[in-house]
Structure 1
Amino acid sequence: MKKYIVIIWFILVVLSVSCSTNRDLTWHNANFTHATERTESLVRAINENRPREIYGYLTQDLRERIGEDAFVSNYQEDCTYPYLTPLYLFLAELTLPQRNDGLAVCTVASRLEGEEYTIPIRYENGDYYFFVFKDIVDGSYKDKFANKVVKWI
């Protein structure tokens, strides 16, 4: 009788571990798909130069630092600098090692070959948001060309 109890106990343990692992995999697959869709939407907004839409993808921390209209104004000003190739991205890789954060790696077109642009991803308020364009949020984008002299050769 003890033998059967041990066997039943063992089967229950294996089933509970299996169900738990399967539930985690299901969660990860569903969220990975959703995170990929959100990231691709952000990349599309960047590629199509839509700062108002990009603002909605920023993390709460970044949105608390700047209002939407100020972000749009800074973004448009940043894009008007001469000799700045437009940012055009292709999503190359997405990792979600933890439930709350991840990293998107994008290939940058029209710049240096092999250049990558990494975008930290954060899960907050029930969705995925991105820690991107901090320089536009804090105004440091203006330092790119400050006191720079362009020499024509």
Structure 2
Amino acid sequence: MAFENPTREEIGDILASAGNIAVVGLSDKSDRTSYMVAYAMQLKGYRIIPVNPLVDDDILGEKCYHSLAEIPEPVDIVDVFRRSEFCPEVAREAAAIGAKVLWLQQGVISQEAAEIAQEAGMTVIMDRCIKVEEAITMRDRTRSPK
């Protein structure tokens, strides 16, 4: 069966109820797409949790973790800014921490990661930018800050 993303309405529901968004591969460099997208989501009221094994400092004012397993609180969405070949391992880590959604950013596609996440009961979104989807799906909704 071919992979299919949730509908825009379902994506809107996911974003409306999201609390913590762990951003895997979040760069500490402000000119990188991952930084710009995470910053925009933060400005919209989402809690961003940076995950990058190469960064020991805070990013966007939040403690950066080296792995998903280090995060000491629940994660709703794992937003992935990694190349496709690294996504199956990220999916396994996301499943292990009980994340609800595995979100692979625009240009990132991994059928294997999707299958791992879906088998763990997670919703999967692939090849979509969370910032763009938030703008499209939430423009007619009111988001309550978490």
TM-score (norm: length of structure 2): 0.25
The structure with higher relative contact order (CA 8 Å, sep 6+) is 2
The structure that is strand-richer by fraction is 1
The structure that is helix-richer by fraction is 1
